[in-house]
Structure formats: C-alpha cells, structure tokens
Amino acid sequence: MTPHLVESLYVEAMVLADEARHYFEEEVKERETGINAATRVAVSCESLRLTTRLMHCIAWLLNQKAYFAGELSYTQLRSQGRMLDNNNTADPDIVRQLPEKARQLVHASEFLFARIKRIERHVQNEWQDGQAVPQDAEAPSQVHVLQQGLLDALRR
C-alpha cells in the first residue's frame, strides 16, 4: 500500500461519485415523466446503494490518506480504518431495468468496492502477520505533535 495508490483510488472514487451524482440528479429527472412510480422508487433505491458503496470507499481511502499524512497513528488506523461489509450490493433485477449509463455506474462502483476490499484484506493479513507494522507504530501523529506544541506554547 502506497500513498500514490491511495491517491489514485481516491481520485477514481471521487470522479465516479461525481458522475453518479450528476447522472441521478439530472438525467433521471429528465426521464421521470415517462417512468411509473414503482420504477422511480427502484431507481432511487439503486442510486442510494451506489452512493453508499462509494462513500464507504471514500471514507476508507480518506483514513488511509490521513495515515500517510501523519494525521492518524498506526493504532488509530487499525481501529478505525475498516470498510463496512458489502451489504449494499446492487439488486440485479433493478439494475437490468436501468438505462445503460446507470448500469455502467453501478458496475463501476461495485468493481471499485471489490478492489478496495481486496486491498483491505491484504493489508489486514499483513497486520496480523506483523509484516505491516511500521517502526514508529506508536509514535504520535503530526497533528498531535502540532497540538501538543500549541498547548505547550499557551502554557508558557
């Protein structure tokens, strides 16, 4: 796991989230006039699942970025940097009813989630094997060092 990989995945997740937001806000509204109520609800549910999947990815990646930036310690990352299980998979029956662009967004979000989940499992296995423990695992993060410096300066 490298900062470059995390940044690359983060950018991919943000671009995909922006595309999904735009699609479901703009294009679906334009088509709503010819869609029955049940289909509108199904599309809304699938949009929510897609967004949730992407937010799980983004949250995990932000924790990794914070760790690499020194804002989270190794211990904090291990305790807080886990993705939630993928309990929000797409409903295949609904996805088949979606327009092609929406299906592409759903599949892209599932693919990204699966990739990050594999990376997370790999990192967790390294943690369990003791391979990924940095030398400064218990060293304070840069944020904590700065905060302590400010507190010391205020006490003088």
Burial class (CB in 10 A: 0-12, 13-18, 19+), 88: middle
For the entire predicted model, the pTM comes to: 0.75
Q: Phi/psi at 115 (nearest 5 deg)? A: -65, -45
Quick one: pLDDT at residue 100? 87
DSSP letter at 34? G
Closest-CA residue to 60 (of 102, 105, 123, 107): 123
Per-residue pLDDT band at 134 (split at 50, 70, 90): low
Mean pLDDT along residues 30-44: 71
pLDDT digits (tens, 9 = 90+) for 6-34: 999 999 999 999 999 998 887 666 665 56
Most confident stretch, 44-48, 73-77, 116-120: 116-120
So what's the pLDDT on residue 91?
A: 81
Residue of 44, 42, 50 whose CA lies nearest to 25: 44
Taking 80 as the threshold, does the pLDDT of residue 87 lie above it? no
pLDDT score for 72: 85
Sole residue written with tokens 């009813």: 97
Burial class (CB in 10 A: 0-12, 13-18, 19+), 33: exposed
Query: Which pLDDT belongs to residue 15?
Result: 96
- Mean pLDDT, to the nearest integer, of 78-86? 69
| Model confidence at 151: pLDDT above 50 | yes
CB 127: neighbour CB atoms within 10 A? 14
Exposed/middle/buried for 144, CB within 10 Å: 0-12, 13-18, 19+?
middle
Check whether 78 has a pLDDT greater than 70: yes
User: Structural domains in the chain?
Assistant: 3-155 (1.10.8.930)
The type of residue at 4 is: H
